[in-house]
Amino acid sequence: MKNYLKPDEWCIVEDGFHAEYNEITESVMSLGNGRMGQRGNFEETFSGKSLSGNYVAGVYYPDKTRVGWWKNGYPEYFAKVLNAANWIGIIVEVDYETLDLNTCEVWDFSRVLNMREGYLERSFSARLKSGKEVKVSAKRFCSIVNDEAGAIQYSVTPLNFDAKLTLTPFVDGDVRNRDANYDEKFWDEVHKETGYGEAYIELRTKKTGFHVLTGMKFELFRDGQRIDFQSLPVKLEKYVANKVSLDARQGEEITLVKYACNLSSLNHPSDGLVFRAKKYLSRLADKGFEQMAREQAQAWADKWKFMDITIEGDTAAQQGIRFNLFQLFQTYTGQDERLNIGPKGFTGEKYGGSTYWDTEAYCIPFYLATADPKVARNLLIYRYKHLPKAIENAGKLGFKAGAALYPMVTMNGEECHNEWEITFEEIHRNGAIAYAIFDYVRYTNDEQYLVDFGLEVLIGIARFWSQRVNWSGEKQKYVMLGVTGPNEYENNVNNNWYTNLMACWCLEYAMQVAGRVKALNPEKYRVLCDRIHFREQKEFATAKDIVAKMHFPENEELGVFLQQDGYLDKEQLTVNDLNPGDRPINQKWSWDRILRSCFIKQADVLQGMYVFEDRYDEATLRRNYDFYEPRTVHESSLSPCVHAILAARLGLKDKAYEFYLRTSRLDLDDYNNDTEDGCHITSMAGTWMAVVKGFGGMRVAEGSVHFAPFCPEQWRSFAFKIRFRGNLLNVKATQSEVMIENLSAQPVSIFVYNQAVTLAGNAAKVILVS
């Protein structure tokens, strides 16, 4: 853990420059607006440790897979969200000496991410090698209102000299991804031009052919008064800039305001991008930086009004949840069904920025409760549109008759993960896709989605599971061989309990939905069956047999479900038996040693018990929790939140709090020594789940929302809002009482501690905590 960032309820504060942690801070201080984003890099030159990152949503490159042993069915590429043109850059020179914090003496350094208003602010003083001293302040944001743009206000004040100050704002498209498999660059130049106070460069991705036009327009001020200037245009390969030299006087502030945009062919015709960018930037310049900043603050205020979670009495916990919410909402807005949520969002390159099962398992519950239903629906539509590719993916692995295997990693529906034990074996992801449909319909009651889209997906998934199992003559059961469960520290195992559970549930749910769609719209059901050649009686007879005769590993003596066949053959140790110097084991141990150990990366059996908690009584849950949690190293960001929810249900309040703090501050405190690669965006939805489903006890059952809140002893109170079927509810819990407020005009019926409560419109009720 690293504790160099200061606790603050609304800001992430680096007080003093911690150069050794700079890449971590760049990740944490990332900005975005759903269309574009960038890491918290410096505007001026920095030759120290840094991972430059600017990203445009939906624009990717199929980086050729790099493996030592090619296998049939292997993806040919790994999709990478590309490091795009750097639009924030400003070279600062004092009498031709470059400002570089890696070579200067720096003091009064502060870097602050203001989450309330959505901007990054930085200030410092520096002494160059010549002895000249400058004070710098910078503020920038990715605009929520103008979501293809960003703006920077950058000020330099000479502290002990009069001299020539040269500012060179630039756009640099000659960039690469650090994680490129063959160290190649992914962009070709199409066009570039410069003008007075502006510059534009259009790049095209290799292979995929996306065009992105990055433009900049800037203006200069002296002590707050706008000034005219002369500029020298600069054009290099994939690089454009304007160089401006000024006579700067001691104590006089020179400010450069830079407006920038990223227009992509995903959203605009590729012809005429330069023309559109010029008009776009002219509108921004006419508006001005201060008005843009005010609009940004208001846009974030509107978001916080509905999504904020307040915690009284624990600044670290409050900062943690707001950081998670901030990153989630600046990564994905739900307005474009072509987009999804990459595990790193706009904060880094790792995982390719592509879509994983995290979206369905963690993010959809979050967006269901905090956003308009169309946001979650768009995430489901994204998968529906990829169904043909999922069928194609299954076909590559030898499956037939319309079986669908959704990819572990994708940008366009095609599998692009390049590790065999994940690509071929971590098939439980199919279950997450199906469960998300169930979760959405249960929450919204939008059964029309099942008619129009959902059933077709569910049948494809059911067909996959029906073919993936085989009959074991020895066991006289159906078995599932050669899989990887959620615990990726086990590969190629037989009968992973969670995977078998999800497979059977998917078959049951497909049968249930088929019956419902047939009742709702018989004609549409008939047309679908004819189109996909679905033979209900035959296929569902097979499904029923599998559900009735599936093998589930279990140890009756211990009273626990076994993670997979043979799990108890391993040497049974707990995390307390590990040498602290061996943690995290994924960075200290060989893969062979990890695979032979009993240690668990993330919830596996417990993931299943979380998803289907209504199937298990408290005693069964407790036995499994007490067995598996001590063996879990939580080296996946997706692990602590599930354990927090289960611990809360079991009344393990201190453990629930411990897991909440870990998931909420995973990146802020760099728990797993990997934040420098980017933040764990999708797991941040799990942080919300830990509060709302864990401490808030929120569940949806039989068309009603249920709450069973408790307030951790470390807090005076906590409060959150949720949307549910047209109602907006505010829930606040203290140590002694719970207040539920209906912020909508229409009445709503809910359950609190299993007791029915009816709230009139715009009314509240207080329930004492027993």
Distance CA 332, CA 287 (A): 26
Q: Which residue has the tokens 């037989």?
A: 494
Cβ partners under 8 Å of residue 685, min gap 6: 324, 328, 358, 362, 363, 365, 366, 367
Which phi and psi angles does 760 have, rounded to 5°?
-70, 165
SS3 511: helix
Token code pair at residue 359: 């979206």
Q: Does residue 409 contact residue 424 with C-beta atoms inside 8 Å? A: no
Residue type, position 239, single letter? Y
Which phi and psi angles does 127 have, rounded to 5°?
-115, 120
The answer, yes or no, to whether the previous bond of 7 is cis (omega within 30 of 0) is no
Distance CA 532, CA 296 (A): 48
Distance CA 128, CA 264 (A): 39
Distance CA 323, CA 345 (A): 14
Strands (E), 491-567: 554-555, 560-561
Residue type, position 720, single letter? F
Distance CA 633, CA 525 (A): 47
Residue type, position 697, single letter? G
Cβ partners under 8 Å of residue 590, min gap 6: none
Token code pair at residue 322: 């707001």
Token code pair at residue 395: 């076909």
SS3 172: strand
SS3 244: strand
Distance CA 420, CA 399 (A): 17
Token code pair at residue 604: 């596996």
Q: Does residue 668 contact residue 679 with C-beta atoms inside 8 Å? A: no
Distance CA 305, CA 297 (A): 12
Q: Number of C-alpha atoms within 13 angstroms, CB side, residue 91?
A: 18
Q: Does residue 440 contact residue 371 with C-beta atoms inside 8 Å? A: no
The active-site residue out of 421, 425, 456, 488 is: 488
**Helix (H), strand (E), coil (C) string for 407-418:** CCCECCCCCCCC
Distance CA 481, CA 493 (A): 7
Rounding to the nearest 10 degrees, give the CA dihedral for residues 435, 436, 440, 443. Answer: 60
SS3 644: helix
Q: Does residue 703 contact residue 749 with C-beta atoms inside 8 Å? A: no
- Is 488 a residue of the active site? yes
Distance CA 377, CA 449 (A): 8
Q: Which residue has the tokens 């559109």?
A: 276
Distance of CA 288 to the CA centre of its chain: 31
Pairing of strands 211-222, 254-264: antiparallel
- Of 178, 500, 528, which Cα lies nearest the Cα of 387? 528
Cβ partners under 8 Å of residue 569, min gap 6: none
Residue type, position 95, single letter? D
SS3 335: coil
Distance CA 447, CA 242 (A): 57
SS3 634: coil
Distance CA 180, CA 186 (A): 9
Catalytic residues: 488
